Amino acid sequence: MSWKRDRPDTPRGYHHGNLKEELVKAALGLIGEKGPNGFTFAEAARMAGVSPAAPYRHFRDRDELLADVATRGFEAFQTALSKAWDQGRPDPETAFHRLGRAYLAFAHDEPAYYSAMFEAGVPLDASPALRAAADLAFADLRQAAEALIARLPQGKRPPALMMALHIWAMSHGIAALFGRADGGRRPLPMSAAELLEAGMLIYLQGLGLDRRPPE
Residue 126 lies in a domain: yes
Same domain for 71 and 41: no
Q: What is the mean pLDDT of residues 28-54?
A: 94
Residues 153, 85: one domain? Answer: yes
- Per-residue pLDDT at 4: 42
For residue 13, tell me if it sits in a domain: no
Better-scored residue on pLDDT, 35 or 184: 35
Range scoring the smallest mean pLDDT among 8-17, 65-74, 103-112: 8-17
Q: Is residue 143 part of a domain?
A: yes
Which of 33, 57, 81 is the C-terminal boundary of a domain? 57
Integer angstrom CA distances of residue 169 from 6, 52, 108, 141, 173: 37, 39, 17, 11, 6
Report how many domains make up the chain.
Answer: 2
Helix-helix angle 62-85:92-109, to 10 degrees = 150
Show Cβ contacts of residue 46 under 8 Å, excluding neighbours closer than 6 positions.
Answer: 7, 8, 11, 52
pLDDT at residue 31, as a whole number: 96
% of residues, the chain, pLDDT over 90: 81
**Identity of the amino acid at 78:** Q
Tell me whether the omega of the peptide bond preceding residue 90 falls within 30 degrees of 0, making it cis: yes
The verdict on 53 and 156 lying in the same domain is no
Task: Tell me whether residue 148 is in a domain.
Answer: yes
Which of 57, 79, 107 is the C-terminal boundary of a domain?
A: 57
Of 7-16, 22-31, 135-144, the range with the lowest mean pLDDT is 7-16
Asked whether residue 96 falls in the same domain as residue 171, the answer is yes
Q: Kindly state the greatest CA–CA separation across the chain.
A: 67
Could you give the residue ranges of the DSSP H alpha helices within 110-127? Answer: 111-118
Q: What is the CATH number of the domain that holds 50?
A: 1.10.10
Locate the DSSP E strands across 10-77. Answer: none
Q: 81: how many CB neighbours lie within 10 A of its CB? A: 23
Residue 182 pLDDT level (bands cut at 50, 70, 90): confident
Same structural domain, 87 and 152: yes
Question: Does 172 lie in the same domain as 77?
Answer: yes
Q: For position 183, what pLDDT does the model report?
A: 66
Q: State the pLDDT at residue 105.
A: 97
Which pTM does this prediction carry? 0.86
> What is the domain extent for residue 40?
19-57
99-143 pLDDT, tens per residue? 999 999 999 999 999 999 999 999 999 999 999 999 999 999 999
> Quick check: 157 pLDDT over 60?
yes
Residues 51 and 122 placed together within one structural domain of the fold:
no
Residue 107 CA from chain centroid, whole number: 6
Q: Is residue 73 part of a domain?
A: yes
Give yes or no for a contact between 62 and 46, defined as CB atoms under 8 angstroms apart: no
